[in-house]
Structures are given as C-alpha cells and as structure tokens.
Structure 1
Amino acid sequence: MSAPTDDADVPAFWRGLGLPGLADVHVHFMPPRLLRRVWEYFDAAGPLVGVRWPIRYRWPDEERVAHLRRLGVRAFTALSYAHRPGMAGDLNDWALAFARATPGCVPSATFYPEPDVAGYVAAAIDAGARVFKVHLQVGGFSPTVPELDPVWGLLADAGVPVVVHAGHAPVGTAHTGPEPFAAVLARHPRLTAVVAHLGAPDYEEFLALAEKYERVALDTTMAFTPFFDQFTPFPAAALPRLRELGLGGKVLLGSDFPNIPYPYADQLAGLARLDLGDSWLRAVCWENPARLLGLD
C-alpha cells in the first residue's frame, strides 16, 4: 500500500486497503477556552513540550470535524484531561454533550485523583462514556495513588477502555515511564488500557505489558512520523513484535489531531512505510479500534 503524501490522499489510502474508513482512538476535542490554553502552551514550547510545536489544525470545532469527515475518519474520540482538582466533571459534561451532537464522535471522559472521582466516573459511564483519557505527565500524579484504585477497578469491571499517557515522551516526569502503570496493571490485570504513543520512548517495555496483559493495547499516536522520529525513534528490532501485536488486535490508530505540527497524512504514511503488510494496516487503522470502541 502506497503512503499518502498529503491529506487529500488519505481516502485513497483506506479505500485501497478495502476499509470503510478510519477509526482514530486519540483525537482531542475540548471546551474552546481550554483548547486555546493548550495551544498557547504548545506555542510557548512549555516545560512538558520542550520543542517548537506549531499546531497544524488551529481551527474551530466544526471545521475540524468536517476535516475528519473529508479524511474518512468515521469514528474518533474527544479526549480531554484534567490537570487539577474540580475540572474533570465539567470536562465530562462538555465532552458527552459534544459527542451527542457530533456523529462519529465516541463519548469520551476523563478523571483526576480527588475525593469524588469514583462517583463521577461511574456517572460518566452511566451517561454513555465509552472511552476515558488520563494524562499522567500533564496531570502530574501517579496512577497508583489510593484515590484512583477504585476507579481502575470500576473501569476493569465495566470493560470501558482508558487511553493512558504513561510514557516519558515528550518530557518525562516522576510519574511517567513503564513502572508506575505496570504497578496498576499488576493490581488490576483485567483493565482495558490503551498506552498512548506506543509508550515512547520506552517502547519495548510497554510492548511487553501489551504482550503480558490480555486487555492492554497501544496506540500509534505520532510514532513513525518524521517529527517524532527525530526525538524518539522506534527500535527496528522491535518491529516483529509490533506486527504480531497489531495482528492480534493490540495496536490501534491514534493521531493526536488537531494538536500536531504536521499533516494528518504523515501518521498514515509512517505506518505504511513500516512495510508490515496490508493485513496489519487494516487491523491497525480500522479493525482493532473499531472492536475496542464497539463500532458496528
């Protein structure tokens, strides 16, 4: 399968694979004021970014939704994340309302370690949330804090997936890396978790977690793009393991749209250049995320 060179080529890419479209588990939609602050942080190359990061798709919500539809992204998340107490409940209300008003958007939610966290996570599930996001780097907390133990158990019992930014990239903190999240999985081995960015830069350690735990997967977000490869390239020796995991349902398309400094097509082109086969691309770009998100 030839790699798309720009966004206009993306529909031909997935049609050439015989797919109905793309399913992307790592897309961000947030309340406009919060998203503007996120973009300002990237513009300033803040401490948790560390490099120049010009946002490619600095557009209003409706324009970004329309662009996803032009690309053929039939299913996408609306991931947000709380970085202080008292945020998550309001973010969940906004994200769930956004999903109700936006065909193709998977109802999404988040959480933060605070006294009422288990209650509002349960409420979000009851309101239809089908995927959660937690960002250990930006949130500045350990996944092993006592407040979150009942939440991990609740999500494991419900079978609702959580996308976890657990890796050190782009800038590590005391709570990122494979060890903290491995401790969560040891306590909650049935948790359905998607490790963002393939766990970069500790790719092989996070691959091992996906190999060990039945419900742990990884998303491709930013991996194999020229921008990301200059900082944290994926080890060539681990590609056979990535292929097996992808064919086994455990590697999922993620993009970080719109918070990327390059075209969406770069993500797909990077995957195509791996030369892991059309069956692998079909699994990663549609079959695996569609199964995880419960699409028909």
Structure 2
Amino acid sequence: MTEFPVEGVVDAHVHLMPGRLMAAIREALGDAAGWEFDHPTDRERMEATLAAAGVERYVALPYVARPGAAADLNEWVIEAAAASDRAVPFATVHAADDDPGTVVADAFDAGARGLKLQLPVQGFSADDPRLDPAYEVVAARDAPVVLHAGTAPMFEDSPHVGVERFESFLASYPDVRVCAAHMGAYEVDAFVDLARDNDNVFLDTTFAMSSVAETYMDFDPATVDDDTLIELSESVMYGSDYPNIPYPYAREREHLLSRDLPIEAQRDVFSRTARRFLGGD
C-alpha cells in the first residue's frame, strides 16, 4: 500500500452521515452510475481505514436533498465529530429552508467549521439569492465553503453547476474561502484559472485525481500536469469522497504520489493547504 510521504495528512472531502442517509445516497449513485460500495459507513470503522492510511484529520461533509432536514443532520454530524479526535465537522443547508441563516449560525455555534453544498443534488445554484443569509453568516465567521460546483461525474445537464455560476458566487463573496470539489471537473481548466487568479479559491483532488478517474468519471488526471500542481500547491488539497467511492481508498492517493512533486508541494497538497483552508488548525 502506497503511504503518504508527509505527516499531518488531511483528507478534505469525507462524508460522515447517518447510516440510513448514506444507504440512500449509495442507492442513488448506484442507480445513476452503476457503482457498488463496500466501505464501512460507521465513524469508528471509517476512521480506522483513514488512520491506517496515515490520515490525521478529515473534513466531515454532510448534505441534504430536501428542505427542513439540514438542522437535524448538522446536529448529528457535530455530535459524531465531538466523539472523534480526527473529524472536522461541516454543516449544510438547503436554499428552500425557512431560515437558512439561522440553520448555519446554529450549526457554527454548535461546532461546525464550514459549509458544504452539493449543488446538483440539492437542486440549486451557488449564486441562489436564497442562500445569501447563510453566506453572510459564513463571511461573518470567516468560515470556508465547499461546493460541488462542477459538472462531473453525471451533472453535465444540470443548470445548477458550471464555472459561470461559481464565478457569480465569487463576485458576491470575494473574501470567502471556497473550494470547488473534484478539481471543478469537467471544467478543470477554467477552475484552475480561477484558483490561479483568486487567493480565496481552492480545489480538492477528490475522485478526479484518483488512479481510476478515467474508469469511473471519464477524466484523465494526467491532463493536470505537475507544473500546475506545483504552482497551485497552496490552493489544491487532497480529498477522497470516502467512504462513497467504488474502489479501494489507496486508489485515491496513488496517482498523486506517483507524480514528480517536490516534498514541499506534497506537504501543501496533503496537509498544509487544507489547514489553511480551514483557517488554521
């Protein structure tokens, strides 16, 4: 098994949610993409896998597909993370919630460190004006946001994703630290340019930079060259989508570790960039 070459590894994209919700998500992914999953979904066994791989901390990302469910899910994730010395809990919200700002503020007061939105699944865009109260709380708390803002792996027809909607969010919130998950695939070049031009824009490597990305999402990670990863090492952070990946966890890192990246770039991608994104850890 390929080990990380640096200490303090952070997996910036992990899903920690109740078993029933995880089962529903997996069923939906299986129906849409034909994927099968065999990784555990309970926190203890998930963390055992991550720890065995050398992961010190992970960002626990929830999301809900319907309004009215975010507050309870946020409470569950925060409580689960409180029993862990590895989990960094994020909150979620739905644009159609009665009071999105209060949902996010309550979660932050309880210990959430950032906000996660799975835009195509939740059915709204990053620049949906109904989210402004939530983003105002994020900005006031100097908290980060993770957005599934790209069209991969099955959202090319969704009106809620794409670089233009992401740019619209950036125009309104230019100081909020925001991560475009999955390297922004399939518009990777455009999202890379945004990270190059905006200090507050981050990318995570989740799924798109795995050694099996071509098989499972029809994206060749080699199209992102070493020079780009080195140049943007302070903006790119390692993530996995664990445990909702249809392949062994080692596949998530082995392609990155096969690259000819200097050790300082590896320290950024696997540890320091995520800690900077989180606002210090």
CA shift digits 1:201-235 (9 cap, x unpaired): 10011112212222110000012324322402246
Is contact 2:230-2:265 (8 Å) kept?
A: yes
Please tell me whether residue 120 in structure 1 is matched to residue 103 in structure 2. Answer: yes
Is contact 1:22-1:75 (8 Å) kept?
A: yes
CA apart distance, 1:87:
1.0
In structure 2, the residue matched to 1:289 is 274
Please tell me whether residue 250 in structure 1 is matched to residue 235 in structure 2. Answer: yes
Please tell me whether residue 60 in structure 1 is matched to residue 42 in structure 2. Answer: yes
CA shift digits 1:233-254 (9 cap, x unpaired): 24636542332111xx210110
CA apart distance, 1:273:
2.3
Is contact 1:76-1:106 (8 Å) kept?
A: yes
Please tell me whether residue 102 in structure 1 is matched to residue 84 in structure 2. Answer: yes
In structure 2, the residue matched to 1:263 is 248
Q: Structure 1 residues 295 and 188, CA, compared in 2 at 3 Å: closer, same or farther?
A: closer
Structure 2: state its 5+ residue gaps.
Answer: none
1:277 partner letter: P
Which of the numbers 183, 194, 212 marks the counterpart of 2:168?
183
Is contact 2:101-2:136 (8 Å) kept?
A: no
CA apart distance, 1:154:
2.4
CA–CA separation in structure 1 for the residues paired with 2:100 and 2:219: 34
Identity %: 38
CA shift digits 1:48-96 (9 cap, x unpaired): xxx2211141453321122212222110122110111001111100011
Q: Structure 1 residues 127 and 240, CA, compared in 2 at 3 Å: closer, same or farther?
A: same
Number of residues of Structure 1 aligned to a counterpart in Structure 2: 276
Q: Structure 1 residues 156 and 295, CA, compared in 2 at 3 Å: closer, same or farther?
A: closer
In structure 1, the residue matched to 2:13 is 26
- SS of 1:63 mapped into structure 2: helix
CA–CA separation in structure 2 for the residues paired with 1:76 and 1:144: 27
In structure 2, the residue matched to 1:70 is 52
2:9 partner letter: L
- SS of 1:255 mapped into structure 2: coil
In structure 2, the residue matched to 1:196 is 181
TM-score by length of 2: 0.92
TM-score by length of 1: 0.88
CA–CA separation in structure 2 for the residues paired with 1:96 and 1:195: 23
